[in-house]
């Protein structure tokens, strides 16, 4: 049987501990509401659904990450053991959750209206997906240097950033932009609904089993 790493133990010791809550969560919540309310006022449904798709994909990643810890009994791919107002999952604190809740809207705002426009000879959607993923990993590297976001596996760290770029972030962008470009609102809502159904069922099933 493997032994949990110190960072894994540290994260589990504060996992969903209400005593860590801080007042700054309230303004973070208010700012998130403001972002979505602003887009709702403008009827930017494409942006809203792209943002929700991005956030939903992050939840799927985070649940999978928690399952890795459960089944390896060693460590998740990434861990957030540092100070937080609330640790939701071993690699997801409430600060990260609020950030990802609006990240999809931020990145989708950068998409040119002409989806066939090329940037440096490649699709603008692909270019922004790659650029956004690389930027996100650079941020992770700084967080890792501060032990705020930790990596334990030799194949998932700064020496193999392409794995984090592809599997840690590109899926968020691909699905978010895919939803953004769908032709009908029914397709967009159905896809986002499926994503959140997966998230909800995973939380209920794996949560009740004590796996996440």
The answer to whether 77 and 91 have CB atoms below 8 angstroms apart is yes
pLDDT digits (tens, 9 = 90+) for 64-80: 999 999 999 999 999 99
pLDDT digits (tens, 9 = 90+) for 191-207: 999 999 999 999 999 99
> What is the rounded distance in angstroms from the CA atom of residue 208 to the CA atom of residue 108?
35
> What is the rounded distance in angstroms from the CA atom of residue 95 to the CA atom of residue 111?
25
In this prediction, residue 1 has a pLDDT band, given cuts at 50, 70 and 90, of low
> What is the rounded distance in angstroms from the CA atom of residue 96 to the CA atom of residue 151?
16
> What is the rounded distance in angstroms from the CA atom of residue 47 to the CA atom of residue 110?
11
The SS3 assignment for 93 reads: strand
Which residue reads 């809207």 in tokens?
A: 105
Contacts of 7 (CB under 8 A, 6+ apart): 75, 79, 81, 147, 150, 152
> What is the rounded distance in angstroms from the CA atom of residue 8 to the CA atom of residue 11?
5
With a pLDDT cut of 90, the percent of the chain lying above it is: 98
pLDDT digits (tens, 9 = 90+) for 145-181: 999 999 999 999 999 999 999 999 999 999 999 999 9
Written as six digits, the tokens of 28 are 């973070």
pLDDT of amino acid 185: 97
For residue 69, which of 143, 142, 153, 125 has the smallest C-alpha distance? 153
């Amino acid at each position: 049987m493997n032994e949990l790493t110190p960072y894994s133990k540290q994260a589990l010791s504060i996992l969903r501990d209400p005593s860590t809550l801080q007042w700054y969560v309230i303004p973070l919540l208010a700012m998130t509401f403001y972002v979505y309310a602003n887009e709702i006022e403008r009827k930017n449904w494409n942006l809203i659904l792209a943002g929700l798709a991005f956030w939903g994909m992050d939840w799927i990643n985070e649940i999978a990450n928690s399952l890795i810890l459960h089944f390896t009994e060693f460590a998740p791919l990434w861990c957030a053991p540092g100070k937080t107002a609330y640790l939701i999952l071993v690699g997801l604190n409430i600060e990260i959750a609020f950030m990802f809740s609006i990240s999809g809207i931020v990145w989708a705002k950068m998409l040119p209206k002409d989806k066939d426009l090329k940037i440096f000879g490649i699709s603008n959607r692909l270019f922004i997906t790659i650029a956004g993923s690389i930027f996100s990993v650079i941020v992770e590297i700084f967080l890792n240097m501060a032990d705020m976001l930790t990596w334990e596996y030799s194949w998932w760290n700064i020496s193999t950033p392409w794995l984090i770029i592809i599997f840690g972030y590109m899926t968020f962008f691909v699905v978010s932009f895919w939803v953004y470009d769908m032709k009908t609102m029914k397709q967009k809502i159905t896809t986002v609904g499926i994503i959140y159904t997966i998230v909800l069922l995973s939380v209920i099933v794996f949560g009740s089993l004590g796996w996440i």
